[in-house]
Amino acid sequence: MRIAAAAAATGLAGVAVFHIVLALGAPLGRAAWGGNHTRLPVALRLGSVASAVVLCAAALIVLGRAGLWTADGPAGLYRWGVWALALLLGLSSVGNFASAGRWENLLMGPLALTLALLCLLVALGPAHPPGGPPGAAGPGAP
């Protein structure tokens, strides 16, 4: 499960970097937000900044569920957060596959689906305390 968590967190962080690059004005807008713009308008750039923040938080939630990162917070945040991510990324993949944008169909759809499946694997796995042995269940583990 830790490998799936590391892979999911890496993918989420990679998409966050992509959104930061979009927000900075890179001409990669055809791969995001419906693919209607080469360079995103200001409103979509702000949306990319917000997306990057959410994606970084999502990466930390996935790592927290696997015991690879910790911070003070509600006990169920990691457990339920990963389930929510699996669902939201699954819905995101449907939206990307249904998009008129070619890059969203070919790149972002499969990426979102892969990340959803990785999050599902992490959600189904046992919780690990930070730094604990791989077989040890953390607080609030099912």
pLDDT digits (tens, 9 = 90+) for 109-139: 999 999 999 999 999 998 776 655 454 444 4
The structure tokens 């939630």 sit at 61
> How far does the chain reach from its first CA to its final CA, in angstroms?
15
Confidence of residue 95 (pLDDT cuts 50, 70, 90): very high
The pTM (predicted TM-score) of the whole model is: 0.86
Does the structure show a pLDDT above 80 at 88? yes
Q: Give me the helix-helix angle, 109-124 and 76-98, nearest 10°.
A: 160
Give the count of beta carbons closer than 10 Å to the beta carbon of residue 75.
Answer: 12
Average pLDDT of the chain is 89
Asked if residue 11 lies in contact with residue 115, where contact means CB atoms within 8 angstroms, the answer is yes
pLDDT at res. 65: 92
Does the structure show a pLDDT above 80 at 141? no
The string of pLDDT tens digits covering residues 8-41 is: 999 999 999 999 999 999 999 999 998 899 999 9
pLDDT at res. 142: 46
Lookup: tokens for 82: 């990963």
Confidence of residue 76 (pLDDT cuts 50, 70, 90): confident
- In percent, the amount of the chain with pLDDT more than 70 equals 89
Asked if residue 1 lies in contact with residue 126, where contact means CB atoms within 8 angstroms, the answer is yes
